Amino acid sequence: MVGGDCLCCRDFWNSVGQDTAQEHKNRSSKHRSHWPRPKTPPGYWDVDFPSTQKIALNKEQARQMHKEKREWAAAEANKDNGRHLRRKSS
């Protein structure tokens, strides 16, 4: 399982050290899930109206996020025990 943290737990995990923190989270965190949490879309937390340039930047960042997610899913599908499976062609 993939381990995460919350604001309350973050100080503890920072004190554990960066080398082993993720390994400990994966084994013992109360914030574990079978799938990694999705990333927040670019500009989601901006409270003001974005400029045209900011909208273009957000769209480009979103395209990059989607590309990385597709690449991750393809890499997982190519693994023997990956999280994604390729559809069998008939």
Taking every pair of Cα atoms in the chain, the longest distance, rounded to a whole number of angstroms, is 53
34-85 residue pLDDT tens:
777 788 899 999 999 999 999 999 999 999 999 999 998 889 888 888 777 7
Predicted TM-score (pTM) above 0.75? no
E-state strands within 1-90: 2-3, 32-33
16-34 residue pLDDT tens:
776 677 777 777 777 777 7
Band (pLDDT 50/70/90 cuts) for residue 89 is confident
User: Which residues, in sequence order, are bridge partners of residue 55?
Assistant: none
pLDDT of residue 19: 67
pLDDT of residue 90: 63
